[in-house]
Amino acid sequence: MADNITSKGQSARPSRSTLRLTFRVAGGEVQLMSVERLAMITPPSAAPPPEIGKHGGFWVELRDANDRALFHRTLHVPLGDSVEVHSPDGTIRREFGPTSETTFEVLVPDDDQARTVALVGEYLDADEFRRRQSAGEPAPPSRELARFDLPTKGTSGTPRPEVDHERE
Q: Write out the chain's pLDDT in tens, 168 residues.
A: 443 433 344 445 667 899 999 999 887 789 999 999 999 999 998 888 999 989 988 999 999 999 999 999 998 877 766 777 898 999 888 777 766 788 899 999 999 999 999 999 988 777 777 777 778 887 778 999 999 999 987 655 555 444 333 333
Its pTM stands at: 0.73
Q: Return the domain boundaries, the chain.
A: 2-164
Distance of CA 56 to the CA centre of its chain: 12
Pairing assessment for the beta strands 18-26 and 102-109 based on DSSP bridges: antiparallel
Sorted by sequence, the CB contacts under 8 Å of residue 148 that are 6+ apart come out as 32, 116, 117, 118, 159, 160, 161, 162
